[in-house]
């Protein structure tokens, strides 16, 4: 009697998530088990480690209103959280509703925004608030297309507002999450290139849970801000380190790929402090639309970068005043950066002679103001520094 053959043993199933032969980045994030593990560990970490921020609702609490999330997201663009917090609290106290923001005049708005920089954000918010009052009866829209149509709002901001405030299942992609998702899937493409960004948007969308997208999005941003930092990420503190493809492959320092950095150009600009005859008021004017820092006020300043000496710059300002501007002594040198320029600003005390102020041709008109009046004017950062150095 022949012996019955033993059935062949089934090959043990390998766990693709724990294998040393990792799937490529365009496969691993499509694995539902991988996504589920990452979500759980991330959300558990967030529940214990989320910062207490005035625009943030905690799990189990009522969601923050779309208006307040909108204000925070606009302020946080290119600005650190620690800088934003006091501005946000003052702003939302002064303007608790869309209607209140829409009704304010621009100079008052700019005064409250002064110091945050990127003043176009404030003007876009003001325009959006007026649009909301006109088209949506003062209620911030919760429809995605309506939100995206507002001035100053793009895909990321619309997704952030609606997912956080209304729990709509919308992905977000900004600096922190670009870096986080790139490392999770070991994506080595350069940020900013369309194929790379298309892939990351797909990952951001796939990672969302069926409910609680706003909490997930905030958790991902928080992990990127506090742990998965651009340099020297704190991998030993990361809740999903065992799931991170970049860490497993030793690529956490090189991912994401380098973003093209701004190549700054050096230039010299000149500003002038001109007092009235009594030496108790100083010459300023509002900056016209279309110019740098439009909507703010400033001292006489030459920003063209065409002049390399103070006498030529003074002659240019004098032409605007139909007079002769004479530099007397240097008051200060301020250094700052604007767009692609690294600027040295030389500030001079000067006098002006020629036609009386009422006949100066500048538009908008020049005005003499006291130091106290300057305190209440919206000035650029360098303009405020000049005001603080006035004799």
C-beta of residue 56 within 8 angstroms of C-beta of residue 218: yes
C-beta of residue 273 within 8 angstroms of C-beta of residue 299: yes
Catalytic hit among 61, 73, 252, 265: 73
Q: Which long-range contacts (CB under 8 A, 24 or more apart) does 61-64 make?
A: 63/164, 63/165, 63/166, 63/167, 63/214, 64/164, 64/165
Query: Which DSSP helix (H) or strand (E) runs through 124?
Result: helix 120-135
Sheet holding 282-286, edge to edge: 297-298, 282-286, 367-369
Angstrom distances, CA of residue 359 to CA of 83, 304, 365, 366, 370: 43, 24, 10, 10, 21
Question: Would you give the DSSP letter of residue 337?
Answer: E
Q: What is the CA radius of gyration of the chain?
A: 28
| β-sheet bridge partners, residue 267 | 343
Whether 73 sits among the annotated catalytic residues: the reply is: yes
What are the residue numbers of the active site? 73
């Amino acid at each position: 009697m022949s012996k019955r053959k033993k059935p062949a043993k089934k090959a043990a199933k390998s766990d693709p998530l724990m294998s040393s032969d990792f799937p490529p980045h365009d496969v691993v994030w499509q694995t539902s088990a991988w996504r589920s593990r990452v979500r759980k560990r991330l959300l558990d970490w967030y529940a214990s480690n989320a910062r207490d921020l005035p625009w943030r609702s905690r799990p189990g609490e009522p969601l923050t209103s779309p208006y307040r999330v909108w204000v925070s997201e606009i302020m946080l663009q290119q600005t650190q959280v620690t800088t934003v917090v006091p501005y946000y609290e003052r702003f939302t106290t002064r303007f608790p509703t869309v209607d209140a923001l829409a009704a304010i005049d621009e100079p008052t708005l700019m005064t409250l925004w002064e110091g945050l920089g990127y003043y176009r954000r404030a003007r876009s918010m003001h325009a959006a608030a007026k649009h909301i009052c006109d088209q949506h009866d003062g209620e911030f829209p919760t429809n995605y297309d309506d939100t995206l149509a507002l001035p100053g709002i793009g895909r990321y901001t619309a997704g952030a507002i609606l997912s956080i405030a209304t729990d709509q299942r919308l992905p977000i992609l900004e600096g922190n999450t670009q870096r986080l998702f790139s490392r999770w899937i070991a994506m080595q493409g350069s940020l900013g290139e369309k194929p790379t960004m298309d892939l990351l948007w797909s990952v951001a969308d796939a990672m969302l849970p069926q409910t609680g997208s706003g909490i997930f999005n905030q958790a991902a941003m928080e992990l990127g801000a506090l742990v998965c930092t651009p340099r020297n990420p704190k991998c030993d503190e990361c809740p999903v380190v065992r799931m991170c493809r970049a860490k497993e492959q030793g690529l956490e320092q090189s991912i994401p790929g380098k973003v093209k950095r701004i190549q700054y150009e050096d230039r010299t600009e000149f500003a002038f402090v001109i007092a009235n005859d009594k030496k108790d008021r100083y010459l300023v004017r509002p900056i016209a639309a279309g110019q740098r820092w439009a909507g703010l006020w400033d001292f006489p300043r030459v920003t063209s970068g065409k002049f390399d000496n103070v006498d030529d710059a003074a002659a240019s300002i004098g032409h605007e005043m139909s007079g002769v501007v004479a530099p007397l002594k240097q008051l200060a040198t301020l250094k700052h950066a604007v767009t692609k320029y690294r600027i040295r600003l030389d500030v001079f005390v000067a006098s002006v002679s020629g036609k009386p102020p009422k006949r100066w041709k500048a538009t908008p008109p020049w005005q003499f103001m006291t130091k106290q009046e300057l305190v209440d004017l919206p000035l650029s950062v360098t303009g405020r520094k000049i005001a603080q150095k006035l004799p």
